[in-house]
Amino acid sequence: MKILITAGGTTESIDTVRGITNFATGSLGKLTAEEFLTHGHQVILLAGRFAQLPSEQENLTVIPIGDTQDLLDNVEKFLPEVEVVVHSMAVSDYRPVYMTGVDDLPQPLTKEQLIHFRPEVQKKISSNSDYQMMLLEKTPKVISFIKKWKPEVLLFGFKLLSGVSEEHLLEVAQSKLKETSADFIIANDLANIQGENHLAFLVSGSADITQLQTKPQIAQVIVKKSEEAYHG
């Protein structure tokens, strides 16, 4: 099989020298890629700027990813040639529209003016202003495009929440299954991720729920489910 894995985090540019990113290490994506490679499969790894990477090997292709649009473009590019997608990347929910000094904003300022205002384009935003304001807009949900572009692909998605009940976590995972048409959602709570412990739930469209305890176990189950889907 040929597998597409996304891992790490995206970086949304503010200007040519600054960006917004997150703390995702891509460690689970790395482990999952290694597990597929151990089983003799081909892997295309779309990796964020700071993502951990497997060692170079014959069946592994690593594509560096910048922002959300870059990720979306590469998913669309490689999707036709893969059977499985493991979308574990922490994609930015928002991206900068502009950042400008508060004194540079027109006054008075309505909501519509704030949204449509555009400062003079600068390669590097000046640091002279004591206060800066940034307008953010939502990024496209990459996972929502995958089944639309290739309905037959086996899709694993992820959902991370923080400090919620197990019941609520599973409800959100079921909702995401329906929204994205994913085959599986791996749901976890930030409060239950500590060191080697990584409590997660594999939720499927058939309402089966599998509890997992570590990242290696998550990677192993993803490979097992993928092989079962294509080889029985």
Residue 206 CB contacts under 8 Å (≥ 6 apart), including other chains: none
Contact 210, 218 (CB under 8 A): no
Tokens 């959300």 label which residue? 68
What is the average pLDDT across 108-114? 81
What is residue 88's three-state secondary structure? Answer: coil
Q: How many CB atoms lie within 10 A of CB 85?
A: 26
Phi-psi region at 195: left, alpha or beta (left = phi > 0; alpha = psi -120 to 50): left
pLDDT-derived band of residue 205, with 50, 70 and 90 as boundaries?
confident
Nearest to 127 by CA among 12, 13, 17: 17
- Tell me the pLDDT tens digit for each residue of 112-168: 888 888 887 767 777 777 888 888 999 999 999 999 999 999 999 999 888 899 899
- Tell me the pLDDT tens digit for each residue of 56-83: 999 999 999 999 999 999 999 999 999 9
Which pLDDT value is given to residue 114?
82
Which pLDDT value is given to residue 122?
67
- Please enumerate, as own/partner, the contacts of 194-202 that have beta carbons within 8 Å and a separation of 24 or more: 198/28, 201/166, 201/169, 201/170, 201/173
What predicted TM-score, i.e. pTM, was given to this entire model?
0.90
Question: CA-CA distance, 102 to 119, in Å (whole number)?
Answer: 11
Contact 49, 21 (CB under 8 A): yes
**Domains within the chain, CATH numbers bracketed:** 2-93+140-159+215-231 (3.40.50.10300), 94-138 (no CATH)
pLDDT-derived band of residue 232, with 50, 70 and 90 as boundaries?
low
